[in-house]
């Protein structure tokens, strides 16, 4: 299972951004300003929950553990106030759960007088390895600034401090870098303020549900909760952005759990408010200091914006919003239809970012065709609801053409499986999107999934994002038991590895897998991994 270097994708994204096309956006600046105003009026107030640490722990190197470390309990957290700390002393606090929020603590001292500030280093970790050893030297592909550590100087004791930066963490390591030689410090009243727009926890699965599935569900819900801020963030530790691909999966899970429709609506309007010059929605949006679009444009994400609008309207019964966003939906289809060749096959332009999955061995040709055909079907349903019958007729015609072309190009009737590219690559991604798009029948899809299990060199998913679509495709073609087994083995594998929120990437055979050349910058609470709570309720 190989993960694509993100720098390669960013280079492709820049090329895509430069190839804006010639058509102008079908919405004017005043309309986009109204959409932004709607989005800002929907900005939620965050719920704050006070969380105290539960214990003092120490990391133990343990090769039997997936992440190579385990935490050993030293004492209850309330013994911290009894601990006298001097230069080079340290302590690690375990809050017992992952949270997104702020840290505060009181600090006092004892001795013959202060003749220097107290300098502390605080390191925040979502998982044990982040506080078990030093961050440096760091050789990751992303900025070192994403790693969660701070050095603070405290001139006056006693004092109470609240760190201004928001963190995503379970563990906090406090190190005394230096203080007065004749002085020692004590920490007390350490607590975190956990933030989320999710609201009350949804009811768990029934008691008859097997224990592992109930654990998977609880971790799934915790993952979504900590990513639900003033937008659906992709990862509260790193990126902290609104991405279409993550949004779609978070929204589906939200409909089955927290049912915060306004947050989804806000995100849909944010994307609508900041299109590229030709009208294509950006792959991501930033919020601060004021909302603006990212510079990445992902072909399959633009297509899935269409599905996200339809999902929202169906779940909320808010067809007014769907009709208001219909011009954006129609524009995505118009832009992407330029890449459909005369033979009915989708061919993304050279240099365009087609994501599908974190796997650089994957031939994306068939899967991208499937994503577009899937979006055609969603656009067709929206067109009928929005009174756009001419477009509905065109989408129906285009669907028939592209489905027929795909069967000729991608379906192998001898192997009874779908292939992709000039080397006729067999991958789980291709099977998933051929099923979800309706290009193959349910019976053919089921047979393809049975067949691929017997092909050892088939290209497996590289991250939970694609694993979701594989599981959803299995359910769509009647393989519910197989989908359940996939959830148990894949997401259950993370639970058994100690996850209390689900991770951005997970390969059961490679704990050191990272798209960024360092697991330290991996996100261990990541939006696109939250979907078991949705899948288990289907």
Residue 20 has a pLDDT of 37
- Residue 23 pLDDT exceeds 70: no
Q: Which two tokens stand for residue 27?
A: 């919405």
Mean pLDDT of 33-45: 98
pLDDT digits (tens, 9 = 90+) for 195-210: 999 988 899 898 899 9
Contacts of 81 (CB under 8 A, 6+ apart): 186, 187, 188
pLDDT digits (tens, 9 = 90+) for 345-382: 999 999 999 999 999 999 999 999 999 999 999 999 99
pLDDT digits (tens, 9 = 90+) for 68-78: 999 999 999 99
Residue 25 has a pLDDT of 39
Residue 26 has a pLDDT of 55
Higher pLDDT among residues 18 and 29, named by residue: 29
- Residue 487 pLDDT exceeds 50: yes
Residue 341 has a pLDDT of 97
Mean confidence (pLDDT) of the chain:
94
Mean pLDDT of 97-119: 91
Residue 183 has a pLDDT of 86
Q: How many CB atoms lie within 10 A of CB 4?
A: 18
Quick check: 263 and 233 in contact, CB under 8 A?
no
The dihedrals phi and psi of 236, each to the nearest 5 degrees, come to: -75, -15
Q: Taking the mean position of all CA atoms in its chain, how far away is CA 516?
A: 15
DSSP one-letter code for 423: T
Q: How many CB atoms lie within 10 A of CB 350?
A: 9
Residue 7 has a pLDDT of 46
Residue 14 has a pLDDT of 45
pLDDT digits (tens, 9 = 90+) for 111-167: 877 788 999 999 999 999 999 999 999 999 999 999 999 999 999 999 999 999 999
Mean pLDDT of 234-249: 98
Q: How many CB atoms lie within 10 A of CB 470?
A: 25
pLDDT digits (tens, 9 = 90+) for 276-299: 999 999 999 999 999 999 999 999
pLDDT digits (tens, 9 = 90+) for 306-334: 999 999 999 999 999 999 999 999 999 99
- Residue 13 pLDDT exceeds 50: no
Give residue 451's pLDDT band: very low, low, confident or very high (50, 70, 90).
very high
How far, in Å, CA of 142 to CA of 354, rounded?
21
- Residue 19 pLDDT exceeds 50: no
Mean pLDDT of 243-268: 98
- Residue 16 pLDDT exceeds 60: no
Mean pLDDT of 511-532: 97
How far, in Å, CA of 362 to CA of 3, rounded?
10
pLDDT digits (tens, 9 = 90+) for 173-193: 999 999 988 889 999 999 999
Q: How many residues does the structure list for the chain?
A: 538
Mean pLDDT of 213-221: 98
Quick check: 474 and 433 in contact, CB under 8 A?
no
Mean pLDDT of 424-449: 98
Which residue segments constitute the domains of the chain, with CATH numbers given? 6-46+198-535 (1.50.10.10), 48-196 (2.60.120.260)
């Amino acid at each position: 299972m190989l993960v694509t270097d993100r720098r390669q994708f960013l280079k492709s994204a820049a090329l895509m951004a430069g190839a804006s096309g010639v058509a102008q956006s079908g919405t004017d600046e005043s309309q986009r300003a109204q959409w932004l105003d709607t989005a800002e009026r929907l900005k939620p107030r965050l719920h704050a929950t006070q969380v105290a640490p539960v214990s003092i722990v120490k990391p133990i190197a343990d090769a039997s553990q997936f992440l190579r470390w385990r935490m050993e309990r030293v004492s209850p957290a309330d013994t911290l106030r009894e601990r006298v700390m001097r230069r080079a002393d340290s302590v690690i606090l375990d809050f017992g759960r992952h949270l997104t929020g702020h840290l505060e603590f009181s600090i006092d001292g004892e001795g013959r007088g202060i003749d220097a500030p107290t300098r502390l280093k605080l390191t925040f970790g979502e998982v044990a390895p982040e506080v078990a050893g030093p961050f440096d030297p760091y050789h990751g592909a992303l900025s070192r600034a994403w790693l969660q550590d701070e050095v603070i100087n405290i001139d006056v004791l006693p004092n109470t401090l609240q760190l201004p930066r928001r963190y995503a963490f379970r563990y906090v390591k406090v190190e005394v870098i230096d203080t007065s030689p004749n002085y020692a410090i004590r920490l007390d009243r350490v607590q975190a303020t956990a933030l989320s727009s999710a609201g009350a926890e949804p009811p768990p699965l029934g008691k008859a549900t097997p224990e592992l599935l109930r654990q998977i569900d609880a971790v799934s819900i915790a993952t979504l909760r900590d990513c639900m801020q003033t937008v659906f963030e992709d990862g509260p530790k790193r990126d902290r952005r609104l991405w279409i691909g993550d949004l779609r999966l978070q929204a589906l899970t939200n409909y089955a759990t927290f049912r915060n429709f306004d947050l989804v609506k806000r995100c849909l309007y944010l994307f609508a408010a900041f299109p590229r010059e030709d009208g294509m929605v950006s792959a991501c949006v930033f919020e601060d200091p004021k909302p603006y679009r990212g510079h990445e444009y992902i072909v399959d994400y633009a297509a899935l914006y269409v599905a996200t609008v339809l999902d929202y309207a169906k779940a909320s019964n808010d067809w007014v919003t769907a009709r208001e966003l219909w011009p954006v939906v129609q524009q995505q289809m118009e832009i992407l239809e330029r890449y459909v060749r005369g033979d009915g096959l989708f061919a993304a332009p050279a240099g365009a970012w087609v994501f599908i999955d974190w796997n650089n061995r994957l031939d994306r040709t068939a899967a991208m065709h499937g994503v577009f055909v899937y979006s055609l079907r969603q656009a067709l349903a929206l067109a009928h609801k929005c009174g756009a019958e001419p477009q509905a007729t065109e989408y129906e015609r285009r669907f028939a053409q592209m489905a027929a072309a795909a069967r000729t190009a991608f379906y192998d009737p001898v192997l009874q499986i779908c292939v992709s590219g000039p080397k006729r690559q067999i991958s789980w991604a291709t099977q998933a999107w051929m099923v979800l798009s309706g290009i193959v029948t349910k019976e053919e899809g089921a047979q393809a999934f049975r067949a691929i299990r017997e092909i050892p060199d088939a290209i497996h998913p590289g991250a939970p994002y694609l694993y979701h679509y594989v599981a959803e495709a299995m359910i769509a073609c009647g393989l519910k038991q197989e989908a359940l087994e996939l959830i148990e083995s894949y997401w259950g594998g993370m639970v058994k590895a100690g996850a209390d929120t689900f991770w951005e990437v997970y390969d059961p055979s490679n704990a050191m897998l990272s798209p960024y050349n360092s697991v330290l910058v991996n996100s261990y609470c990541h939006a696109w991994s939250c979907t078991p709570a949705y899948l288990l309720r289907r």
